Amino acid sequence: MKKNSFSKKKVALITLGCAKNLVDSEVMTGYLHRAGYGFTDNPEQSDILIINTCGFIKPAKKEAVTAIKKASLLKKVNPELKLIVSGCYVQRNREELKKSYPEVDVWTGVNAFDRIVELIEIKPFDTSKNCFLYDHRSPRHITTSSIWAYTKISEGCSHRCSFCAIPLIKGKYRSRTISSIVREVRHLASAGIREVNLISQDSTFYGTDLGMRNGLPLLLEKLIDVPGLEWIRVLYGYPEEISDSLLDIMQEEKICSYLDLPFQHSSSKILKTMKRGLPGKKALHLLDKIRTKLPDIALRTSLIVGFPGETGRELEDLLDFVREARFDHLGVFVYSREEGTDCFSLGDPVPEDIKIQRKDAIMRIQAEISLANNNKYVGKTIDVLIEGPLKADPTVFVGRGRFQAPEVDGLVFIEKENGELSMMEPFQKVEITNRDVYDLYGKQKE
């Protein structure tokens, strides 16, 4: 490794927000590692502390502010600490943040993750106008696992959902090339990665900006041939963009029968104001179509409650939709009014406590559905990707089935037989013996 005057300095990197942010942090870590920096998980032991923020909604901003305040306290104890804050929140609110936290040494948004070394060493460079999008040539230090990873296939978004600030932060949709993605995934598989999770603001839009038709199916067709890769999972798609060609290619063994489709709501009135499509009946028709082509499909969705104009009537429409759709996995966000978005002028008329009550009502229904869905696995033997022993109890191992995405869905907990669990292969046959609302429990199949 090339040594320089900074080779003994230790970096702590805190990542906030989504998996897409995590990939950006892994790329920053790759550049820092290549430049000779050391790393620590303890910010108190670091010479350089980097916080990669999310600025999507109010709770994310609040989390970022809390992290910055904690880091500022560390700097009071250690004035030599170099403090860098990056990411979406900075891109949106740089000047406001600079005034509030003058102790931060460097503020950088989403355009210069590949220039982190120059930022630390105060070397001048021309900042790109575009949100940074890495490729197969970018150094990257995988932090998720030795057997699974995320691969970002694009940046930005060209949709204009009235509630969403992502296009304001990251600009229009920009796809990586198929060849770049395939080369990266080949490298990951050669290093032992067995599951790749494709992420994007809208994975089903992939390739459209490059003039491709059916870009995502074309990409998946190439990834199927990558040696050593066993699971390919597609995350974050738009319901309106699900095509027959995508459902056809998803019947391939390597591709997990799993889709994450944020419907956001079911009310025609609310969806029209959101500038989203597929109200309840059309959404249910799409779900029937998907399940007919892919009988084993696991479906996740995200919903928003408390959007301006949502009354008890729209909530009941949404509750009925959740009951009938029977999603395997579901998350609910309370509406966050974001400056600059198209619906900002509508205000925020639904009180926060009412939003929380509506969220809880949906999750109570979903808990019953999730428990019932988990019942179907009891007594069956499934393939499980083993992630390792449970930290709190090393006699129990943790893994995931094909129907469980990392970090957002439930887990499979496996007890060792006779105190042993064969770990010769990352994939194990596990007999499911019990379940709760979100997780499964089992034992290794002989």
Is the pLDDT score of 428 beyond 50?
yes
The predicted model scores a pTM of: 0.93
- Residue 335 sits at φ, ψ, to 5 deg, of -55, 135
| pLDDT over 80 (residue 423) | no
Indicate the DSSP class of residue 115: G
b/e map of 205-216 (b: 16 or more CB within 10 Å)?
A: bbbbeeeeebbb
Alpha carbon 207 to chain centroid, angstroms: 20
Q: For residue 259, give the DSSP letter.
A: E
pLDDT tens-digit profile of 15-62?
999 999 999 999 999 999 999 999 999 999 999 999 999 998 999 999
CB-facing half-sphere around the CA of 279: CA atoms within 13 A = 9
Copy the structure tokens of residue 308: 């301006």
Q: Edge to edge, what strands does the sheet with 258-260 contain? A: 258-260, 298-305, 329-334
Sorted by sequence, the CB contacts under 8 Å of residue 3 that are 6+ apart come out as: 36
Residue 245: how many CA atoms within 13 Å on its side-chain side? 11
| Residue 28 backbone dihedrals phi, psi, to 5 degrees | -55, -45
Instruction: Quick: pLDDT tens for 343-368.
Output: 999 999 999 999 999 999 999 999 99
- Domains and their CATH numbers in the chain: 10-120 (3.40.50.12160), 148-374 (3.80.30.20), 381-444 (2.40.50.140)
Contact 30, 36 (CB under 8 A): no
Tokens linked to 185: 């995934």
- List Cα–Cα distances, 12 to 79, 160, 254, 289, in angstroms: 16, 36, 36, 47
Give me the pLDDT at residue 127, please: 80
- Are 197 and 351 contacting, i.e. CB atoms less than 8 angstroms apart? no
pLDDT tens figures, 12-21: 999 999 999 9
As a whole number, mean pLDDT of residues 281-287 equals 97
- The per-residue pLDDT for 1 is 36
* CA distance linking residue 29 with residue 117, whole number of Å: 10
Three-point CA angle 423, 376, 438, nearest 5°: 70
pLDDT at residue 109, as a whole number: 95
**Distances from the Cα of 264 to the Cαs of 205, 238, 302, 334, 408, in angstroms?**
18, 10, 6, 11, 17
Give whole-number Cα distances, 385 to 177, 279, 404, in Å: 29, 36, 10
| E strands, 153-234, in order | 154-155, 174-175, 195-199, 231-234
List pLDDT tens digits, range 79-98.
999 999 999 999 999 999 99
Reported as a pLDDT band with limits 50, 70 and 90, residue 267 is very high
φ and ψ at 15, to 5 degrees?
A: -105, 125
Task: Give the DSSP letter of residue 418.
Answer: T
Which residues sit opposite 267 in a β-bridge? Answer: none
Indicate the average pLDDT of the chain: 94
